[in-house]
Structures are given as C-alpha cells and as structure tokens.
Structure 1
Amino acid sequence: MSIPFRFGVLAMRPAATRTEWLDRARRAEDDGFGTFQVSDHFDRSPASPLLTLAAVAQATSSIRLGTLVLDNDFRHPAVLGKELATLDVLCDGRLEVGIGAGWMPADYAVSGLPFDPPGLRVDRLAETLAVLDAVLGSPEPVTWTGEHTRVTGLRSVPAPRQQPRPPLLVGGARPRVLGLAGRLADVVSVNIDVREGRVGPQATRSALADAVDEKVGWVRAAAAGRPVAPELHLVAYWAEVTERPEEAAARRIAAAGLDLAPRELLASPHCLIGPRAQVTERLLQARERWGFSYVTVYDSDAASLTPVVAGLAGT
C-alpha cells in the first residue's frame, strides 16, 4: 500500500519584513502544501531557520514546519534539543526536524568553523541523533557519552508537544549517511551528491535515475529490520508546469551552469518540469519505483506546482 503524497515548500527567496514571511507561509498552507521548510546556511539561506519557523508558527494553524536541513556542526546537541523542544511547543506539535552532517565549504569558511573530513562530520551527526532521540523521546534524564558529545542528566525542558518526539529527517547521498538515516530517521531525504561542495558534475550525475536506484537500495537495506519503514523524501530542485519542457529545462541548465542535456535533466527524479498531467504521472511513477511520497519544491516554483499538489496531496 502506497504512503499518501505530501508536499513541502523550501523557502529560499529572501524576505525583508515579518509580514512577507508570514504571508508566504500562509500562502503555502492555503495552497495545500503540507510543510513549510527553511534551510540552514550562512549566506545561501534567507533567514535563521528556527527563529523563522517560530514566527511562522504564530500565523499558521495546520501546515507543518520543517528544517531542511540543520547543519549539525552549528549547534551543540544539548542546545539544539532545547531549541527544538521549545519550537515544537510554540507550533503546537507541527515541527519536523531535518538535520545533516554539513556539506558546503563556504559555510565553514565564513564562520571559521573547521570543515572536518566527511567521516568525522558523520560521526558527530550520529552522536547528535542518538542524543536527540533519547532526550526528546523520554521525560527521564539522559546521560550519554560519545567520542564527540557528552551530556549528563539532561532532560527536555520543556517536553516536546509531539510524542514520543518530533520526527527526525536525515538527508544525504552517500552510503554511510543513508545507512544511518535508514536505521534511525523517521524520514529519509535521498539527495544529490554534493561532496564537491556545489552542484557540479558529481551532483548532476547523482541526480539521474540509476543513481537514485542505488541510493534507495542503501536505505532499504539499512531499514530492513525496522518494524515501520521510514518515509522517503526528495527535493525537486527543478520544477515547473509548462507545455514547453525542453525550453524550460534548457533555461534551468543555463542558469545553474549544469553539465547536462535538457533530456537528461527532464529524466531526473529531482526534476518535475512538464505539462501538469505529465508531472503528475512522474510523481506517481516515482512513488511506485522508489517509494517517494514526500516531495519538496523551492518556493520560487511552488505557484507553478500548486495544481499538481491539489490533485495529489493526501492520495
């Protein structure tokens, strides 16, 4: 039995005022999107994710609020747990916690944080997930000692509104992160491979269907022993309802400097460019082939995809 579709909007455009942020979130809610999401970078993200979602929570009533995704290196797990539990209370239990190991060298360069090798960053992410799961998921004090993280008698004050805890989303593109996500996360975001620190040749190749086959295979293998499989999520980086898909794809390729032909981009699971019926069919095929039921689009593309969302959300 297929999991019903739900859709997210990732806020990537800057907003200069409180009113603009709140209007944007209310519009997403009114248009049938299930989650309003904010990313976590210094220069690339338009605002601080946790503060933005706390404000948006006061102007919305049903849309879920997500981080896509927090950089684990930016916050100590104990501090992060406190912030997340508080935010879950402030939004009446609508929080989704997306977190990753960090990938963009520019974030580390501008902040002075050390950009450690991938294995070390993933080690820290694994420890953070263990701490968040324990602290947010139980009223009892937690004592936990790892190689990079230590907490002693730590309780979640306040307790999160959702029980046993807010859902955890972990995203990635390499075997170790996707295996970790498959074992522990409630939602696994199967991403493009950004080990180059940008959307370069490695990332574009990893957006193609055969690469997605491999990545989903890693997740399924890791999740095989779980009583409930994690929900599978992907970001549609290129999305547009249009009767001229080849032209639209060529325009996106030129704007981003991608090393792809239009037909290759249009074949990617991360691309939803085409007439409404065709985009709808591609989403149905993606759910059938890979299990993707949770799809996020950029806020700049959301209006174009609203008719598709209206037809598929909840089905």
Structure 2
Amino acid sequence: MSDAHSPFPIKPFRFGVQLRNAPDGVAWTEQAKRIESHGYSTATMPDHFDDQFAPMPALQAMLSATTTLRVGALVFDNDYKHPLVLAKELATMDVLSNGRVEIGLGAGWMIADYEQAGMQYDRAGVRIDRFVEGLAVIKGLMGQEPFSFDGDHYTIREHNGFPKPVQAPHPPIIIGGGGPRVLDIAAREADIVGVNGTLHAGVIGPEAIATMTRDAVIEKVGIVADAARAAGRLDHIEMNVRTFFVSVTDDRDAQTAAMAEMIGVDEQMVRESPFALIGSPEQIADDLVARREEFGFSYVIVGANEIDDFAPVVARLAGT
C-alpha cells in the first residue's frame, strides 16, 4: 500500500451483503435477520432477469423482517422501469420501513437481460443519457412540490409524487461506475459512489477483471475526486466498493494463489486489488483501514457466501 491519502474525509466503516435468492420465504427473511444480527448495515440485490428474486418484493420482505437493516438495489437498471413508477415504489418502501431505503440506480449493462426480454440495447451513451434523466425524475418526484420535466426520454407533467419518503429530500442515492462519464455523474449527483470494474462488454469477463487492478482503481477514484471537488461535494460523498474476491482464511498466500489462478491473473493483482479481501479477520481489517486511508472506501459490500465468515471483520470495524 502506498503512502497516498484519500482526498475524501474519513467516514466510519459500514458493511453490506449482496443477495440474490433463497430456497423459500422463510430462508430469505431468516437470512436478513442473520445479516442484521451480525452488524451489517445493508442488504442489497442486483436487478437482472436471471436466477434472482424480483428486487422490490424481496427487499420489502427483508425490511419487514428486520428493525435496523437498510436495503437497496445494487443497482436498479433505469431501463427496466419508468422512473415515476420506481420513485413511487421506493418512496413507499421508505415510508413503510421508517427510512431504511437506499436508492441504487444505473444505466444498465447486462446485455443478456436486454436480449432475453427483447429490449433494445442502446449504445452506452444513450443508456447513460436516459439514466441521468431518470435520476432527475426520481429526485424531482420525491420533492415537496408538483414536478414537471421535459427531456429527450421522459416527460413529467405537474406530478406530485406520493408518498414522500421519510428520508429528506430523498433516500441516499448510490451510483456505481467503472467508466469516466458515470463516475463523473456519480460524483456530482450521488450520496454514495461505488467504484466498479468497467462493464462495456456487457458481461463480466477478462475485460472487466482487467479494470479491477489497484492502478485502475487509483485512476477511477481520481476521476471521482476531481469531479466532486469541482462540485464542492468532497465532504458529502461516501465511497463504496463491492468486493468480489473474498476469502476469510488463515492461509492467505495459498488462497491468494488459488484465487489468482481461478480468475486468470497474477497473484500481485489479487493482493493489491481493492476488490479482493483475503486473509484472517485481522489481516482483512488492516487492509480495509489502509484502503480507506488511500481510496476513501468506508462502505464495503461482500457476497452472500461471506455473511458468517466475514462477520468478525464487521464486528471489528463497523462504526469505527
């Protein structure tokens, strides 16, 4: 780890778990209760058409089964639902949970979803333009006054969104990005900025993994910092990373080698990538503290398979 210091103020650690499905409703809600009991802040879900539960009912079920757990999508694809409908659903969930919703929104990237649904997969620039408009509509409809919007993709006529969310002016918005334009938008518009791999190919493969190196993350964080500084928002942003290569183990070297072989990269890439967390709870905690110092990452999300094994790290760092 370098001696570089994050341009973002140090924020307390919090942790989330990304979930997809469960064998049944009881298992789903018990999973949520277990996440909450371990001290995780948030449960999130992807938004795809494959082997996952539909996010809205599944997220609401988790809210109903818990008392402190926050929920959100990582992230809703703007193309799958009109932003007026999404805004109403999210605001309703925020009211029913007394303010435990986070709004994750993205431009869409998974080409298989579009192909299977017969939806047009527009070029990235068009999808991003539409997403920016969708975000403006969601924010506007959660405001206190009737809202109108005239865009290239959406038109809203004097609609007074109901209900109004508990969290004002709106629940925290998380935007994750791997490319410069989305990272710039996130820095200017989001409360939480997720730094991702680059997904231009529409699938997770070698191209995306190649953009998860430490050097790539340094560049991405720099884009966010420059845009946030220009917008006067450095102090406001919470930096997030969804980790993919996680193993709590007492044999860090062996597991790092195995992980590197599995994804087809060299071991140094795995050791240094902020998307990887491998080692004992103490080693991982030390890595996270160092990465927060360098990159600003204080909001860390792991996968469903890590709920219990990663809990000692959460116990050690959450809120510090």
Q: Deviations for 1:70-110, whole angstroms, at most 9, x for unmatched residues? A: 11110011111111111111211100011111111111111
Instruction: Tell me the residue number matched to 2:164.
Output: 159
Instruction: Tell me the residue number matched to 1:135.
Output: 141
What secondary structure sits across from 1:36 in the alignment?
Answer: strand
Instruction: Tell me the residue number matched to 1:47.
Output: 53
- Matches of 1:284 and 1:127, distance apart in 2: 36
- Matches of 1:100 and 1:111, distance apart in 2: 18
Structure 1 residue 263, shift from structure 2 partner: 3.2
Mapping 1:51-66, distance limit 5 Å: 51-66=57-72
Answering whether residue 313 of structure 2 is matched by residue 314 of structure 1, we say no
Q: Deviations for 1:96-144, whole angstroms, at most 9, x for unmatched residues? A: 01111111111111111111100000000100111111111x1210000
Structure 1 residue 302, shift from structure 2 partner: 2.0
Instruction: Tell me the residue number matched to 1:293.
Output: 298
Q: Deviations for 1:142-185, whole angstroms, at most 9, x for unmatched residues? A: 00010111111112211111111111100110000000000000
Structure 1 residue 210, shift from structure 2 partner: 0.7
CA contact (8 A) 1:204 1:259 kept: no
CA contact (8 A) 1:124 1:148 kept: yes
Q: 2:32 aligns with which of 18, 25, 29?
A: 25
Highest RCO, 1 vs 2 (Cα 8 Å, sep ≥ 6): 2
What secondary structure sits across from 2:307 in the alignment?
Answer: helix
- Matches of 1:15 and 1:252, distance apart in 2: 26
Matched residue type, 1:234: V
Q: 1:150 aligns with which of 147, 155, 161?
A: 155
Instruction: Tell me the residue number matched to 1:246.
Output: 253
Structure 1 residue 259, shift from structure 2 partner: 2.5
- Matches of 2:97 and 2:259, distance apart in 1: 35
CA contact (8 A) 1:200 1:259 kept: no
Instruction: Tell me the residue number matched to 1:216.
Output: 221
Q: 1:207 aligns with which of 209, 212, 215?
A: 212
Q: 2:267 aligns with which of 254, 262, 283?
A: 262
Answering whether residue 109 of structure 2 is matched by residue 103 of structure 1, we say yes
Instruction: Tell me the residue number matched to 2:181.
Output: 176
What secondary structure sits across from 2:40 in the alignment?
Answer: coil
CA contact (8 A) 2:77 2:106 kept: yes
Instruction: Tell me the residue number matched to 2:4.
Output: none
Uncovered stretches (5+) of structure 2, i.e. residues with no partner: 1-8
Give the total of aligned pairs: 310
Instruction: Tell me the residue number matched to 2:18.
Output: 10
Structure 1 residue 253, shift from structure 2 partner: 4.7
- Matches of 2:257 and 2:246, distance apart in 1: 13
- Matches of 2:289 and 2:258, distance apart in 1: 25
- Matches of 1:301 and 1:251, distance apart in 2: 17
Answering whether residue 108 of structure 2 is matched by residue 112 of structure 1, we say no
Answering whether residue 286 of structure 2 is matched by residue 278 of structure 1, we say no
- Identity value in percent: 41
What secondary structure sits across from 1:99 in the alignment?
Answer: strand
Structure 1 residue 254, shift from structure 2 partner: 5.3
CA contact (8 A) 2:259 2:270 kept: no
- Matches of 1:20 and 1:36, distance apart in 2: 15
- Matches of 2:57 and 2:271, distance apart in 1: 36
Matched residue type, 1:129: L
CA contact (8 A) 1:236 1:295 kept: yes
- Matches of 1:235 and 1:160, distance apart in 2: 26
CA contact (8 A) 1:174 1:193 kept: yes
- Matches of 1:84 and 1:58, distance apart in 2: 14
- Matches of 1:166 and 1:235, distance apart in 2: 20
CA contact (8 A) 2:252 2:279 kept: yes
- Matches of 1:58 and 1:220, distance apart in 2: 37
Structure 1 residue 284, shift from structure 2 partner: 0.5
Answering whether residue 82 of structure 2 is matched by residue 90 of structure 1, we say no
CA contact (8 A) 2:94 2:166 kept: yes
- Matches of 2:55 and 2:33, distance apart in 1: 17
- Give the TM-score normalised by structure 1: 0.95
- Give the TM-score normalised by structure 2: 0.94
Instruction: Tell me the residue number matched to 2:196.
Output: 191
Compared CA separation, residues 171 and 24, structure 1 to 2 (3 A) = same
CA contact (8 A) 1:10 1:299 kept: yes
Matched residue type, 1:9: V
RMSD: 1.3
